Structures are given as C-alpha cells and as structure tokens.
Structure 1
C-alpha cells in the first residue's frame, strides 16, 4: 500500500467505520494529457463519502488507470503499457474542515491492484 501525506499533523487514533452518506456509481472521466507524466485518460468511480462529526470526512474511490500512460515531455513519446491488476487503484482519503469551512485532504492512502476496483 502506497501512502501519501500532506504537511498537516498526523493523529494516532483508532478510526471507527463511519456510515456512508453518498455513493456515486457513474464514472467520472478526467483528461490528464496535459500533465508532464501522463497521457490519455483515467476513470474514477465508486465514490463513497462518510462524515465523522462536523469537521472530519472520509472518502474512498476507485481509479482505472488502464488507459493512462507515461509521456516523455521533451520528446512527446508515450510509453504504452499493458493493462494489469495494478492498473486499478483504491484510494482512501481523510479530509478535515478548516476554520474558513474549506475541506482539505489531510491523509491519503492507495492500494494498487485492489480486488474491490477490478472489473
């Protein structure tokens, strides 16, 4: 499991499962061809959002990266790779509401090759 964190302070507390408030079943398509490292398209689906009090939320979603490829920015050459189990990624994000009421991601973890996201 890959782990990415922001500069926000980390808390070591046991997290209780939170009730699911919303589920998005329709896939969201994002064009990523303008970024320096990727070309083509990533698809995001199966959103689940849970609230824990007024200032904390948890979001899980799947990503289909089977049509996203590495692109060399200098040459413009795209390195196409075959679709594997690792092309499907489960993300778990923790968000906190700041003093201005804006939701910010404070912690995120990914699980590449997750059975939950594979077709």
Structure 2
C-alpha cells in the first residue's frame, strides 16, 4: 500500500534566508522565505522548521500558508542568531491541484552568513538559498 503512494519531485520551490534591516529595532535580522518559482499556485502549504545538532534541538515551529500564488514568495519566520549555529531543516508539504508534494530543505550549521549570499529567484534581494 505504501508503495502505491506517489509523491512527485518538487521543482522550482525553494527556501531562502535573507538578512534584512528591522526598521523598528534598527537591527539586521535573518528571515526565512518560501519561494514559489512555478507557474501554478501552491495550496495548503505546511512548513515545519527545526534546528538541531548533536547536543541541542529546538522545538518545531509550524507554519501554514493557505495559498502561495505562482511566481511569488512569503516570509516564513525570523531566525535568531543562535539558531544559525545549528542545522536548520524546513519540511515543506503542499498541494498543487489535487497532487501532494513534499520536500525537506536543510541549511547546514553556520552556512547562513553574509559570505554565502547569492541572487534569489523572484526576490530583488540576496540571500542563502536551498533548492
């Protein structure tokens, strides 16, 4: 029965972490975004994020986006500096039409930094991207 469940490969949906100026607190904050670089809307997007290493594990953070339009992006969460020292996993599940998609995106510890910034699809910003 399990073998009969087909979950297709996720293409052109990414998680990116961007360093942005917080206007109120005048700080540079790291924020995670989901990017839908496809021609189709994503529905019921569920994101579970968690940081971990050999000694520590953060509690899971759960997020829901009811609809992420084609060629768009949405902020998922703020990442504290201490969390950047951990491996950070974002498990993303969504529907495209009646088909379910699922993918895990992992940022290895200390890979979210200003040296790793690159141009991001759709966003007019630079950030750290996991495909």
TM-score range, shorter chain: under 0.3
Which structure has more RCO (C-alpha within 8 Å, separation ≥ 6)? 2
TM-score by length of 2: 0.25
Q: Which structure has more helix as a fraction of its residues?
A: 2
Rg bigger for which structure?
1
Report the TM-score when normalising by structure 1: 0.26
